[in-house]
Chain A
Amino acid sequence: MKAHYGYKDGAGDFFIIIDTDNCIECADHPCIPACPESVLEIIEDDYEDMVCAVTMDHRKKIKYSCAPCKPDRDRPPLLCVTACPKNALEHLW
């Protein structure tokens, strides 16, 4: 499942896409401790799979939650994306 967490508003589209079919194969979920803002968590989805998701607290403010990792210039690779061994994480902005 490709789960799009985030929102769109007048400023743009701000979504993190998690490919849960890939995520499910990962036992350690290193993306979670890698995020300095604690944006990600493990949940049991509707089909009883343990997968990564964006926390409810961050879903409607993801643009601001992820801002520290996204400077205007010389943007480094995103810590969560780099940490994911299954290429299951993608940021849309």
Chain B
Amino acid sequence: MAEFWRWKEYNWHDENKDWRDGELITAGVDVGSVSSQAVIVVDGELYAYSNMRTGSSSPESANNSFNWAIEGTGLTLDDVGFVIGTGYGRVNVPFSHKAITEIACHARGANAMYGPSVRTVLDMGGQDCKVIRCDEKGKVTAFAMNDKCAAGTGRGMEVFADLLAIPIGEVGELSLDVEEEPPPVSSTCVVFAKSEATGLLREGWSKSKVLAAYCSAMAHRVVTLLEQVGVEEDFAITGGIAKNSGVVTRLEKELGIKALPFDTDTQIAGALGAALFAQNLLRKKLAKAGK
């Protein structure tokens, strides 16, 4: 049976760089509810990462994502000076020196990915949604998080991809292929939204139109959370939904502002932030030891 919700898992490392030339090698491991990422940073620069589905065991997911990130680099855990765990499973990263919340890590990661002008970060994760305000250093100044229901999350979008038999990576573009924007489906519960969508398909709605209605509902739902905390430009989106043009376009329209474009995988923002926190802590540790 085809798994339309399944997104591409992958690893990457910078082949033009040799980690042996670096002084500070740190790692961040983000064990989320749906996906896990590991990021290796060498002297503050992104060196390697992996992005994979979280399994049933957080420690195993942490190990797998770390091992996949360092695959083919010659790097071992012993070469990494400091590791920080983040995400839902942050306290279950067996080799981490410290755990930091994903809120602080996403702010820090977005600051590194998008630049110091970022003031509002929307992290649309697998099973939660976070709005984070931050300063020019990526320090959190305000946040709100909604993790009580799947509406407005990546998992909700996966449910719709499966329902409509559309690969998850194509959902966004397809949802924009409508002549007129349909009214949104239920934005308060993904189960109700799914049954509403089934009814709409029975009424003869096209898949594009149903997806447009769901993307619109999702955008509206996160806008209310954004308005609660307040939106200040520059505005950046992290997490998997940042790759869904259907949600992002509708979100931008409702907010009246554009999200910053990205050239790094938005799903690694939390792990990248964790790796950068780790770098600061490693520097402090070495200074304390007189090295």
A positions within 8 Å CB-CB of B: 1-4, 7-10, 13, 15, 46-47, 60, 92
CB of B100 within 8 A of CB of A46, answer yes
Task: List chain B positions with a Cβ less than 8 A from chain A.
Answer: 100-101, 103-104, 133, 139-149, 188-189, 224-225, 228-229
Name the contact of A10 in the complex, choosing from B133, B189, B229 (C-beta under 8 A): B189
How many angstroms from the CA of A3 to the CA of B142 in the assembled complex? 6
Contact at A15–B228, with CB atoms within 8 Å? yes
A8-B224, A10-B188, A10-B189 given; A2·B146 CB < 8 A: no
A–B pairs, 25, beta carbons within 8 Å: A1-B141, A1-B142, A1-B143, A2-B143, A2-B229, A3-B143, A4-B142, A4-B144, A4-B145, A4-B228, A4-B229, A8-B148, A8-B224, A9-B148, A9-B149, A9-B188, A10-B188, A10-B189, A13-B228, A46-B100, A46-B101, A46-B103, A46-B104, A47-B104, A47-B139
Q: Which residue of B lies closest to A11 (CB)?
A: B188
Whether the Cβ atoms of A4 and B149 lie closer than 8 Å is no
Is A46 in contact with B140, judged by CB distance below 8 angstroms?
yes
Q: Report the separation of the CA atoms of residues A46 and B100 in the bound assembly, to the nearest whole angstrom.
A: 6
Contacts of B189 in A (CB 8 A): 10
Interface of B, helix, strand, loop or mixed by DSSP: mixed
Instruction: Tally the A-B contacts, defined by beta carbons under 8 Å.
Output: 44
Is the beta-carbon distance between B148 and A4 smaller than 8 angstroms?
A: no
Q: Which residues of B contact A7 (CB under 8 A)?
A: 146-149
Question: Smallest CB-CB separation from A19: which chain B residue?
Answer: B142
Report A61 CB to chain B, min CB distance, Å: 9
Which B residues lie within 8 Å of A10 (CB)?
A: 188-189
A11 → chain B closest CB, angstroms: 9
Residues A8 and B101 in contact in the complex (CB < 8 Å), given A1-B140, A1-B141, A13-B228: no
Nearest CB of B to A13, in Å: 7
Complex CA–CA separation, A46 to B189 (angstroms): 31
Identity of the chain B residue whose Cβ is nearest the Cβ of A4 in the assembled complex: B144
Among A1, A15, A60: residue with most chain B CB under 10 A: A1
A47 vs B149: C-alpha distance when bound (angstroms): 28
A93–B142 alpha-carbon span in the complex (Å): 19
A2-B133, A8-B146, A46-B140 are known contacts; what are 19 more A-B pairs with Cβ within 8 Å?
A: A1-B141, A1-B143, A2-B142, A2-B143, A3-B142, A3-B143, A4-B142, A4-B143, A4-B228, A4-B229, A7-B146, A7-B147, A7-B148, A8-B148, A10-B188, A13-B224, A15-B144, A46-B103, A47-B104
